Amino acid sequence: MLKIRLDKFVWCVRLCKTRSQGTELISKGQIKLNSQTTKPSKEVKLKDVISFHKNNAVFSYKVIELLDKRVGAALIENFIIDITPIEEKEKFKAYQLVRQIYRQNGDGKPTKKDRRDLESFLNVSE
């Protein structure tokens, strides 16, 4: 029977971009296995539930098949099922909407074009 570590499985099914990022998230307790914090080396079994805390929502996935190599995004549905409650998805959508509203164009650090426009304006007025 195939054995796979939790950090590698999370990376293989594209829940995180890198394996080291997955290890870090598991160590911090943002990714849980069967609602319990574990070590990244914990082995994943069939029918385990992986909970992934992202921003203010908790996404849940049920393992339906194990794998040993990273797969393309289209093939992920063969290995995990999204069992996240609708309320959690709505919370995440609301969070994204609020972020989009508060981060408008012109906020934060100026772009290179903004800086050039400002410099040209200040040099003309001298």
pLDDT one-digit tens code per residue, 57-96 = 999 999 999 998 999 999 999 999 999 999 999 999 988 8
Helix (H/G/I), strand (E/B), else coil: 33: strand
CATH classification of 1-84, choosing from 2.60.40.10, 3.10.290.10, 3.40.50.1480, 3.40.50.20?
3.10.290.10
**Strand ranges for the chain from DSSP E:** 31-33, 49-54, 57-63, 80-82
**Range 97-105 contact pairs with CB under 8 angstroms and sequence separation of 24 or more:** none
Task: Output the pTM of the full model.
Answer: 0.76
Break the chain down into helix, strand, coil percent, rounded to 5.
40, 15, 40
* Domain boundaries, given as residue ranges, for the chain: 1-84, 85-126
pLDDT of 36: 94
Question: Rounded distance, CA 115 to CA 123, Å?
Answer: 12
